[in-house]
Amino acid sequence: MFYLYSKIGSCIFSGDILKPETYNNFIAPESIDWIITDPPYVRNSLNVFKGLIELAEYSLKEEGGMIVMTGQKYIPEIFKLMKSNSVHYCWMLAYLMLDENTKKSVNKDIHAENYWKPLFLFRKDCSKQKKFKDIIRCPKDNNDKKYHPWGQNIKAFEEIIEMMTDKDDFILDPFMGGGTTLLAALNKKRKFIGFDIDQNYVKIVNERIIRKLNFNR
């Protein structure tokens, strides 16, 4: 499954981060400016972080960077899986979900009512990072979970994109889910590539993009 939006030089497809043969044909080596993504961070999916760092090594330009959202629980395991000689951890940002209308999850083991998530900044060269603020506040947005049960806040992702990337940059989200990163990229006039292992979400995101492109005409 592959959808091309030739007028805006962007595409989405179904692919598996653990099977490079499913994305190699659509993503050229060292062609991506930023990976901005929200992988599944439950215990039995953690191996996707190994796939993610391998994709970053393969696809990021020398000046490229990556923002990865995770939960708090498995950070030590995630960092072990994301060891790399060419893509390095630079900093941590806080993604704040303080709006009273945003549903709070309570972690069952540690009983933490969760109000923020880490966003990890990686780069091939941390010294190339331009100035940024390391806190992102989610504004009120009732559409967060409309397209995916783990959907993120589009305004917050627009803010990340504006702060980190430049107009016409190529943004990749290999765990696109309901498409938050890609729609935010489209709104901010960046090019994008997205994929997801779940074909249902590829269809849902395609419909969102087509609706948005028709609306913008």
Measured from the CB atom, is 127 or 149 closer to ligand SAM? Answer: 149
Rounded Cα distance, 77 and 16, in Å: 21
DSSP string, 129-153: PPP--SEEEPPP-TTTTTS-TT---
The residue at minimum Cβ distance from ligand SAM is 177
Spell out the residues 6+ positions from residue 15 whose beta carbon is closer than 8 angstroms to its own.
Answer: 22, 23, 26, 174, 195, 196, 197
For ligand SAM (CB under 6 A), the number of binding residues is: 22
Phi-psi group of 36: left, alpha or beta (phi > 0 → left; psi -120 to 50 → alpha; rest → beta): beta
Partners of 130 in the β-ladder: none
Measured from the CB atom, is 38 or 169 closer to ligand SAM? Answer: 38
From the list 15-23, 94-102, 133-141, 209-217, the region that binds ligand SAM by CB under 6 A is 15-23
- Using the rule CB under 6 A, which residue among 70, 152, 165, 206 binds ligand SAM? 152
What x/- string results for residues 35 through 64 when contact with ligand SAM is judged by CB under 6 A?
Answer: ---xxx----x--x----------------
- Using the rule CB under 6 A, which residue among 12, 196, 204, 209 binds ligand SAM? 196
Q: Counting contacts by CB under 6 A, is residue 150 touching ligand SAM?
A: yes
What minimum distance in Å lies between the beta carbon of 188 and ligand SAM?
16
Q: Counting contacts by CB under 6 A, is residue 198 touching ligand SAM?
A: yes
From the list 103-111, 116-124, 129-137, 194-202, the region that binds ligand SAM by CB under 6 A is 194-202
Spell out the residues 6+ positions from residue 87 whose beta carbon is closer than 8 angstroms to its own.
Answer: 53, 56, 57, 60, 66, 122, 123, 124
Q: Counting contacts by CB under 6 A, is residue 206 touching ligand SAM?
A: no
Spell out the residues 6+ positions from residue 49 whose beta carbon is closer than 8 angstroms to its own.
Answer: 39, 68, 78, 81, 82
Residue ranges in contact with ligand SAM by CB under 6 A: 16-18, 38-40, 45, 48, 147-148, 150-152, 174-175, 177-178, 180, 196-198, 201
